[in-house]
Amino acid sequence: MRLLIRGGTAVDTDPVSARAADVLVEDGRIAAIGPDLPPPAGVEILDATGMFVLPGFVDTHRHTWQAGIRALGPDISFAGYLELVLGTLAPRYQPDDVHVGTLAGALECLDAGITTVVDWSHIQHTPDHTAAALDALRQSGIRAVFGYCVSDPDVAVARRVLDATGGLVTMAMAPFGPEIIDEEAALREWRVARELDLPVTVHMGGHGAGSAERGLDFLSRNGLLSPRTSYAHGNSYSDDALARIAHSGGALSVSPIVEAELGLGAPITGRALAAGAPTGLGADTVVSGPGDMFSLMRAAYAMERLRSGLTTRDILGVATIGGARTAGLGDVVGSLAVGKQADLVLLRTDLPGVAPAHDPVGAIVLSMDTRAVDTVLVGGRIVKQDGRLLDHNVTKVLAALGESGMRVATTA
């Protein structure tokens, strides 16, 4: 399909800039950008007058399956989260619960302009649970990196999971890692990733300075401090440790609200960028935090203005191209470069609290919320238009999510 997005303000992110320009989409990719592009024969016109056109947001760390237990843990500690969610609620999840939670969570992302999500899916009780999660991601229409997390993974089983991915859904290994399990078990996790040539997304650096240092030393001793690794919650890493990660080709995922709320420590957005590491934002869990990128951008911005002086342009970059690089998709999405996948968001500027949007980047980071998300494209396909998600009966999905959440939360 050919699509010409006409009359908007194109907000690019690599580098961050804004200009009046049309965007031509062909075969799912950005084919041209410029003012007053001539419409090719047979092209569909999408009127973006009065809107900002920008690359879709990238969520680099989210437990998408938890959508049905939203806000069950406000004001909770990290220990309380582990006990409530992983100790009490997760064992109650059946494959149907995983499916509806993952589907609803992915649709929540798309509705909010998040076109790519790194889904850290530590709910793989059985192969049926895994199949349910993958099916939900495919049904949603989102671009996803499926973070496969299972105790004592087996290469043959993981290979079957890898074979079940494709298209918009790719796979990463999501090990528990050396700060949570013993070193020999962690080595087995990484061996599976190496055997299948998978990227790694891991919780490390968020459990105290001593644990952070031991975990990084483990990776270094075993030749695992390497590219294609994303570290979530590196709150306790020293500046030297962040520099080592950056030098190795690793990336950092920051969940500013949940990290502060659970008591993991001060988010490291500015320090990670200063170290030179690709850095992205993540919602982590809606059990105790919001699920939209606007909230995350504002939180990261406010915290960093107290310390590093990051600008709104820095923060928009982290939410888009920085997130894409953190997810291992920097050559695929995250900016308006010709040839990249047309994962795009059209944001309204004619809303109370947004208008007049004098500075596009400032308006996106400081003034907008999910109300502004008018249209969303993934791979050139429109998945939301005129403020409404397409292809899904959202009312039906949310009703099923409510039933699942109620059963999981109240089962004796």
As a whole number of angstroms, the distance between CA 127 and CA 62 comes to 21
Tens digits of residue pLDDT in 205-240? 999 999 999 999 999 999 999 999 999 999 999 999
| Local structure of 362: helix, strand or coil | helix
Judge if 217 and 265 occupy the same domain: yes
As a whole number of angstroms, the distance between CA 60 and CA 280 comes to 6
Q: How many helices (H) and strands (E) does the chain have?
A: 14, 19
- Examine residue 65 and state whether it is found in any structural domain, yes or no: yes
**Phi and psi torsions of 99, nearest 5°:** -65, -50
| Local structure of 233: helix, strand or coil | coil
Into how many domains does the chain fold? 2
Neighbouring residues of 221: CB distance < 8 A, sequence distance ≥ 6: none
Residue 377 amino acid letter: L
| Local structure of 47: helix, strand or coil | strand
Percentage with pLDDT > 90 across the chain = 98
CATH number, domain with residue 65? 3.20.20.140
Report residue 255's pLDDT band, with 50, 70 and 90 as the boundaries: very high
- Examine residue 129 and state whether it is found in any structural domain, yes or no: yes
Taking 90 as the threshold, does the pLDDT of residue 83 lie above it?
Answer: yes
Judge if 117 and 39 occupy the same domain: no
- Examine residue 243 and state whether it is found in any structural domain, yes or no: yes
Domain extent for 11: 2-55+340-389
User: What's the token pair of residue 40?
Assistant: 């090719």
Judge if 366 and 383 occupy the same domain: yes
Tens digits of residue pLDDT in 343-361? 999 999 999 999 999 999 9
Judge if 48 and 63 occupy the same domain: no
Judge if 47 and 157 occupy the same domain: no
Tens digits of residue pLDDT in 10-51? 999 999 999 999 999 999 999 999 999 999 999 999 999 999
**Phi and psi torsions of 236, nearest 5°:** -95, 5
As a whole number of angstroms, the distance between CA 216 and CA 203 comes to 12
User: What's the token pair of residue 124?
Assistant: 């793989």
As a whole number of angstroms, the distance between CA 282 and CA 270 comes to 15
pTM above 0.95, yes or no: yes
Percentage with pLDDT > 70 across the chain = 100
Query: Average pLDDT of 135-164?
Result: 97
pLDDT of residue 1: 77
As a whole number of angstroms, the distance between CA 72 and CA 57 comes to 26
Other Cβ atoms less than 10 A from the Cβ of 372: the count is 25
DSSP assignment string, 76-102: --HHHHIIIIIIIIGGG--HHHHHHHH
| Local structure of 364: helix, strand or coil | helix
Query: Average pLDDT of 66-70?
Result: 98
Tens digits of residue pLDDT in 303-323? 999 998 999 999 999 999 999
Which phi-psi region, left, alpha or beta, contains residue 398 (left: φ > 0; alpha: ψ -120 to 50)?
A: alpha
As a whole number of angstroms, the distance between CA 256 and CA 282 comes to 8
- Examine residue 401 and state whether it is found in any structural domain, yes or no: no
**Cα dihedral sign, 18-24-30-32:** negative
- Examine residue 209 and state whether it is found in any structural domain, yes or no: yes
List C-alpha distances in Å: 246 to 115, 225, 250, 290, 324.
26, 10, 5, 28, 16
